[in-house]
Amino acid sequence: MVKHLLSAADLDRASAVHVLDTAAEMAATQAREIKKLPTLRGRTVVNLFFEDSTRTRISFETAAKRLSADVINFSAKGSSVSKGESLKDTALTLQAMGADGIVVRHHSSGAPHLLATAGWVDASVVNAGDGTHQHPTQALLDAFTIRRHLAGRGAAGAGASLDARSGVGHDLTGLHVAVVGDVLHSRVARSNVQLLTTLGARVTLVAPPTLVPVGVEAWPCAVSYDLDATLDEAPDAVMMLRVQRERMSAAGGGFFPSPLEYSRLFGLDARRLAALPGHAIVMHPGPMNRGLEISAEAADSVRSVIVEQVANGVAVRMAVLYLTLATKES
């Protein structure tokens, strides 16, 4: 495992499978009465969040504490950052405090890479989301969830048995994943295209033309502007993306005619849910806009693994922190 995890591109197939296998071992420990492990005792992990977050920050905090690390939560609001302190000065402060690992979420694409490579800190840096660029641990937990439900199905065909606890040692070869929605503003989509493709899956992006990034033809995936046509291809997993209206407002443009029109053309509703293959799963990185990109029926259906994604996030982040920190020289 590399010292830093800044992008899904940092992982080749072998290392990605290794992280997923380690996460499976971590998940097994969380079924015990005593969930804590002594692995990172004496290490200090700083959650450095310049953007609002609930799921990701709590997930990383839980993961670090389950590994017995000391955790410091840093929020830009109410800190010296709000008074104009630079990323460099914040980093130097954390270095002086002896941080071993820094989990950073930032509104600017590339900020975690700068923190890791500028020489300001000796700590391992984990990217918890930067701008519209990358969110590697989200892609890992998505791949982990897909593998637990669909491991072996792609390689063995439709007759493969489903085992929600299988998958150790497997990649995602032969599986088809449809990623639907606001691709333009989504770091989750970018990370998932890279990681799922690395693991052998076939990825199709589905979005209106206004929400597809310039240069997407260079990405290792297919692009569709017709959700129903993509669902006719019987994808194994459908990942709905949040419509990021806050980024659209900041851009000052209208990316689709109306919420009703978007939902009609690109929302996952009961009709489209019924059209999916019997084994297919429904995913969403959260938070959801119910009634826009996904209906309540789809979000709460037996096919939905959205709540499970949150639980799997703790195990995956435990694995990432363990692999980046546990073997560091003292």
41 annotated to a ligand binding site: no
302 Ramachandran zone, left/alpha/beta (phi>0; psi -120 to 50): alpha
Q: Please check if 56 is assigned to a binding site.
A: yes
Q: In b/e form, how buried is each residue of 127-147, taking b as 16+ CB within 10 angstroms?
A: bbbbbbbbbbbbbbbbbbbbb
Q: Is 105 a catalytic residue?
A: yes
CB within 8 Å of 286: residues ≥ 6 apart: 55, 242, 306, 309, 310
Burial string for 167-200 (b: 16+ CB within 10 Å, else e) reads beebbbebbbbbbbbbbbbbbbbbbbbbbbbbbb
Q: Consult the annotation and say whether 147 binds a ligand.
A: no
**Residues linked to residue 49 through DSSP beta bridges, in sequence order:** 75, 105
The answer to whether 55 is a known catalytic residue is: yes
Catalytic residue, chosen from 135, 147, 153, 185, is: 135
Q: Would the CA dihedral through 132, 136, 139, 145 be positive or negative?
A: negative
- Taking only Cα atoms into account, the Rg of the chain, rounded to an integer number of angstroms, comes to 20
Is 55 annotated as ligand-binding? yes
Q: What phi and psi, each to the nearest 5 degrees, are found at residue 137?
A: -70, -25
Is 95 annotated to bind a ligand? Reply is no
| 286 annotated to bind ligand | yes
The reply to whether 303 sits in an annotated binding site is no
Check the annotation: does 153 bind a ligand.
Answer: no
Please choose, from the candidates 22, 33, 144, 43, the residue with its C-alpha nearest in 3D space to the C-alpha of residue 102: 43
Q: Which residue in the list 55, 107, 290, 328 is annotated as catalytic?
A: 55
135 annotated to bind ligand: yes
Q: Is 30 annotated as a binding residue?
A: no
Candidates 44, 56, 90, 137; catalytic one: 56
Catalytic residue among 43, 105, 106, 202: 105
> Residue 135 catalytic?
yes
Q: What span, in angstroms and rounded, lies between the C-alpha atoms of 71 and 243? A: 32
Residue among 197, 191, 195 nearest 176 (CA): 197
88 vs 80: CA distance, rounded Å: 12
In three-state secondary structure terms, 44 is strand
Binding-site residue ranges for carbamoyl phosphate: 55-56, 105, 135, 138, 286-287
Binding-site residue ranges: 55-56, 83, 105, 135, 138, 187, 242, 286-287
Binding-site residue ranges for L-aspartate: 83, 187, 242
> Which residues belong to the active site?
55-56, 83, 105, 135
